[in-house]
Amino acid sequence: MSKFDLNRLLRPNIKSLKPYSSARTEFKGQANILLDANESPYNEPYNRYPDPFQSKLKARLSELKSIPSENLFVGNGSDEIIDLLIRAFCIPGKDKILTFTPSYTMYITSAEINDVEVVELPLTSDFNLPLDEITRLSSDPSVKIIFICSPNNPVGNLVPRSEIEKICQSFQGLVVLDEAYADFSSEGSLTSLIGKYLTYVSFRPSLKLTVWLDLG
C-alpha cells in the first residue's frame, strides 16, 4: 500500500486557509475582563465566550475515553462533524462519498447539501458490508470518504474489526467510523485502533487518516 497523504485529499482552498485569530487567542497573559468581545465584567464566568479550543472539555473526555486530547474533535453533534468532513475534503460537483443502505441518512443529506455525489451500496442480505464492492469502488480516486456506522443505525449490526481494518488498509481516503451507539455493543469501541491507522500531518496535527465519531 502506498504511503497515505492527507494533503492530497484536502481541498486546496481549505488547505490554504489561514486560521481565524482574535485578540483572545493571541493574548498570553491573564485577564478577568475581556473588552475586545464586549463581555460584561460581571457574573464571571457565566457571561464569557467558551474556550474555542475546548481544552478542559477535551482533557476530561481524554480521561473518560482513554484517547489523547489531540485526537479529539468536539462538534455540535455528529451531524456538524459529518458536514465539516465533507466540506473540507470533497470538492462540490467532483468528488464522492461512499456509504451504505440502510444506514444513517445524514451522510447522504450532508453530501447532497454540499453538491457531493453519493455512492450508496446496499448491505448484504444479512446486513453486513459488501466488501468486494467496497474494494472495487474505493479504487475510484474521486471517492474521498467512506462512512461506516457501527453498530449500524437502524439495523444494529456491528461491523467486525477485521473488516474495518481491511478497509483502512486498502482505502487511500478517509474512513469515518461512526460509533454513536458503541456503548450498546458488547464489543465496545474500536478506538484501540487509534495510532495504528491514524497519521499526523504537518499542516494541522488534529487531522487524522481515520475519524471516529463517538457520542457515547
Residue 66: how many other CB atoms lie within 10 Å: 11
- Summarised one tens digit per residue, pLDDT across range 155-182 is 999 999 999 999 988 888 899 999 888 8
Q: Decide if pLDDT at 152 tops 90.
A: yes
pLDDT at residue 45, as a whole number: 62
Assess whether the previous peptide bond of 205 is cis (omega < 30° from 0).
no
Residue 135 is inside which H or E element, if any?
A: helix 131-138
Average pLDDT over residues 89-117: 96
User: Are 101 and 121 spatial neighbours (Cβ–Cβ below 8 Å)?
Assistant: yes
Does residue 43 or residue 177 have the better pLDDT?
A: 177
User: Are 96 and 117 spatial neighbours (Cβ–Cβ below 8 Å)?
Assistant: yes
| Structure confidence at residue 207 as a pLDDT band (50, 70, 90) | very low
Average pLDDT over residues 146-152: 93
Burial (CB count <10 Å: 0-12, 13-18, 19+), residue 120: middle
Q: Decide if pLDDT at 195 tops 80.
A: no
Q: Residue 90's closest CA among 119, 116, 118, 108?
A: 116
Q: Where are the beta strands (DSSP E) in 42-194?
A: 96-101, 117-122, 143-149, 174-178
Q: Cα–Cα distances in Å, from 149 out to 71, 99, 189?
A: 19, 9, 12
Average pLDDT over residues 118-139: 93
